[in-house]
Amino acid sequence: MRTLQLILLSIAIALASANVLLERVMDPHQPADLTVFFERRMTQCGFPGLAVALIKDGEVVWAKGFGVMDIEANEPVTADTLFHVASVSKPVVATAVMQLAEQGLLSLDDDVDECLPFDVANPNHPDAPITARMLLTHTSSLRDDWNGCLAGLYTCSAGGGDSPVGLEEFVRGYLEPGGDWYDADANFLETAPGTTYEYCNLGYTLLGVLVEYISGQSFDAYCQDRIFDPLGMTETKWFISQVDLQKLASPHEQADGPRKLPHFSYPFYPSGSLRTSVVEYGQFIAALLNGGVCAAGRILEEETIQEMWTPQLPELKPTLGIGWEHLHALSKHFPERAEELAPIHTGGNLGTFAYTFVVPEEGIGAVFLANSPPKTTATSTLSLIAMFKRIVIELDSGDAGTAAR
């Protein structure tokens, strides 16, 4: 989402001018007490609420909430508080698609038109097929039209809630000539499918429709049956109407201070509207690290997970997997680990911030969810980086998980 791009830009600017602060002032080892550490850094980032889970040896070994769910009600965040996780939803979408591929119901490299009752084509290259692999790797040549379309479909201005526009209704209206949201110039790149990387929420929205037609279920029901229920993710939902609102942290925007927003959504919900907790999403991460195995059986084959964590476009974007990005993310803060595979995904939207990563070789991972974006200040940026570094340090230590939930 667009908010995340601004956050990442602020991080880059801060790093260029504040390396000394990063090393000397924002020491990721201090304070030693993990709870105090996160409470202090959370305040510096301006997060009203935050939750963190550490995953090791196939299970969530430590999880804790900090701050409040809502600045007006002041209900405390716990490890089981639900958050809007924005684009951290995308690994779940990718998992659903890869399940269908494992069953032989979908080929990642076939034209998606073969599975849909409508045509998907870039008008600049009408004969070039668009494949599921392209959609998964943001190389489909579809484009997010934020200014002319997507931003106006958020339900915030109507008081929040789920979108009244259906998933397929929206996708067809965006991609079919004559549709309510069709714009040949704004909705598609000039380059051919498969030749250009451009992050695209619409691609993951279309994957949701693809799952519906192949499985015969609504996308949310498929995820519930094939991913959430087997993993014991009983509170995790795609729609606000399905969530226990007493457990859902309110989103907040950063202005002069945090300002509460309504619980909102949009018709392109598979791209980033999942509501979950650090504990439940941690169970998803744990299963992936455990080769796809969970208590109820298996959600993916180990070979499939390895493919998702393998660079798909070594010449175009070598850090990109399937549903996962920045496959060597640890190298930025831990140069000695430059060759270590560490898939991550970030999420940023109105009123929310999310981050998850895994280190497959070590069997560790983490989930980090907040109910606002961080403040765009150097101190906030450095505090955020310190938290990410501390998470890795804790997981590398032999003490991770000794604190009670």
- Mind giving me the DSSP string for 300-360? S-HHHHHHHTS-SBTTTBTT--SS-B-TBGGGGT-GGGTTS-B-EEEEEETTEEEEEEEET
Do 265 and 273 contact (CB within 8 A), yes or no?
A: yes
Phi, psi dihedrals of residue 214, rounded to the nearest 5° = -75, -40
For residues 186 and 254, which has the higher predicted lDDT (pLDDT)? 186
Structural fold of domain 2-396:
Beta-lactamase (3.40.710)
pLDDT (0 to 100) of residue 5:
59
Taken in order 42, 385, 252, 278, the sign of the CA dihedral is negative
Q: Tell me the pLDDT tens digit for each residue of 33-91.
A: 999 999 999 999 999 999 999 999 999 999 999 999 999 998 999 999 999 999 999 99
* Spatial distance between the Cα atoms of 117 and 272, rounded to a whole number of angstroms: 25
The mean predicted confidence, pLDDT, of the chain is 92
Do 52 and 395 contact (CB within 8 A), yes or no?
A: no
Q: What is this structure's pTM?
A: 0.93
Residue labelled with tokens 């519906």: 212
Is 127 a residue whose pLDDT tops 90? yes
Least confident window among 28-42, 134-148, 251-265, 391-405:
391-405
Task: Give me 309's structure tokens.
Answer: 């964590």
Where are the chain's structural domains?
2-396
Is 163 a residue whose pLDDT tops 50? yes
Pairs from 172-178 (Cβ < 8 Å, separation ≥ 24) = 172/118, 174/149, 174/202, 175/118, 175/120, 175/142, 175/206, 176/118, 176/119, 177/123
Is 394 a residue whose pLDDT tops 50? yes
Bridge partner residues of 64 (DSSP):
52
* Spatial distance between the Cα atoms of 66 and 43, rounded to a whole number of angstroms: 10
Residue 326 amino acid letter: H
C-alpha radius of gyration, the chain, whole number: 20
| pLDDT category of residue 23 using cuts at 50, 70 and 90 | low
Task: Give me 9's structure tokens.
Answer: 């830009």
Mean pLDDT of 223-231: 98
Q: Tell me the pLDDT tens digit for each residue of 278-303.
A: 999 999 999 999 999 999 999 999 99
* Spatial distance between the Cα atoms of 290 and 58, rounded to a whole number of angstroms: 6
